[in-house]
Amino acid sequence: MKVQVVYTKSCVYCPSTKALWKELQKKHKFDYEEIDAATPKGQEMVQKFSIMSVPTTIIDGKVEFIGMPNRAKAEEKVS
């Protein structure tokens, strides 16, 4: 399983979203990647998934959360 978070440096919700996924990664084993939307890879993700808001969480190639995920629902996705 792969969890990717597309974020921006100016986003107020992105740090807590990234912290949530890092915490869940310690409990559940999954690949985790943070992608800055301002980078070339980030722009590629924005185009591919039509991202209009950050943070956006992509799990196994599918947009699962836009904005800060609910902890219980996020944990359900990776357990």
User: Is residue 78 in a domain?
Assistant: no
- 31 φ/ψ angles, rounded to the nearest 5 degrees: -75, 140
- Distance in angstroms between the alpha carbons of the first and the last residue of the chain: 10
Digitized pLDDT (tens) for each residue of the chain, 79 residues in all: 999 999 999 999 999 999 999 999 999 999 999 999 999 999 999 999 999 999 999 999 999 999 999 999 999 999 9
Q: What is the pTM of this model?
A: 0.96
> What is the span of the domain harbouring residue 21?
2-68
Rg of the chain over Cα atoms, rounded to whole angstroms, equals 11
Q: What CATH number should be reported for the domain holding residue 24?
A: 3.40.30.10
Q: Give a yes or no: residue 52 inside a domain.
A: yes
Number of domains present in the structure of the chain: 1
Flag whether 59 is in a domain. Answer: yes
In a domain, 31, yes or no: yes
